[in-house]
């Protein structure tokens, strides 16, 4: 019976790898493989270079701990096509098979190895295309004068300063103008009409206006 290692990865901490692991263990049983270790990277983006569980799995692969690596999808494995091919090449030199559950690809044969290279390249091109479309959309929006990101608040800065000079508290000023206390403080400090005061200090404040 061949020994198998299961590798799973989820991109965010609120995602769960149990589905991947369940499918892979069931697949191993169907193939007559003995799962000896499960390696899981939690909250690791596909572009991150550092993957502790993957690194540990590769260390164990060099020690000859297993004969097959099972992943739910091959894009779970590496951060780029180049990295993916490097991992496959090392596994190949170690005589360790790579099996992808979703793509139903097994590198035990030459056709499987060829398909992995082709599909990996297509996936990277697709991701690059998505990024370029996003950038093109941003460039177009800028050329058309559209707002990118959160709209800038239209605040009557002079009125904010006047309110502070009249003794209105930070909290009351912020509530009146729909901005944060820090914004009120910053506007007041930047105004030449208002003396420089600590954010918590007030001008002519009554007991009902305490912060």
Q: Which residues contact 89 (CB under 8 A, 6 or more apart)?
A: none
Q: Is the separation of the CB atoms in 35 and 65 below 8 Å?
A: no
The side-by-side arrangement of strands in the sheet containing 3-9 is 34-41, 3-9, 68-71, 97-100, 105-106
Dihedral Cα 65, 68, 71, 77, nearest 10 deg: 70
Q: Is the separation of the CB atoms in 119 and 74 below 8 Å?
A: yes
Q: Which residues contact 178 (CB under 8 A, 6 or more apart)?
A: 153, 155
Annotated catalytic residue, options 11, 80, 123, 191:
11
Whether 11 is a known active-site residue: answer yes
Residue 189 φ then ψ, to 5°: -70, -35
**Secondary structure of residue 173 in the 3-state scheme:** helix
* Active site residue ranges: 11
């Amino acid at each position: 019976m061949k020994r198998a290692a299961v590798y799973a990865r989820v991109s965010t901490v609120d995602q769960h790898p149990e589905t991947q692991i369940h499918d892979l263990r069931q697949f191993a049983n169907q193939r007559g493989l003995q799962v000896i270790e499960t390696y899981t990277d939690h909250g690791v983006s596909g572009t991150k270079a550092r993957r502790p569980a993957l690194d540990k799995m590769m260390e164990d692969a060099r020690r000859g701990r297993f004969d097959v690596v099972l992943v739910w999808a091959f894009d779970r494995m590496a951060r780029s096509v180049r990295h993916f091919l490097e991992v496959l090449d090392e596994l190949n030199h170690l005589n360790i098979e790579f099996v992808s559950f979703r793509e139903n690809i097994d590198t035990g044969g030459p056709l499987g190895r060829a398909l992995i290279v082709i599909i990996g390249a297509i996936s990277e091109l697709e991701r690059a295309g998505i990024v370029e479309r996003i950038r093109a959309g941003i460039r177009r929006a800028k050329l058309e004068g559209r707002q990118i990101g959160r709209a800038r608040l239209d605040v009557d800065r002079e009125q904010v300063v006047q309110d502070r000079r009249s003794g209105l508290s930070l909290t009351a000023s912020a509530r009146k103008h729909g901005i944060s206390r820090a914004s009120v403080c910053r506007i007041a400090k930047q105004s030449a009409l208002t003396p420089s005061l600590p954010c918590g200090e007030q001008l002519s404040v009554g007991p009902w206006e305490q912060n």
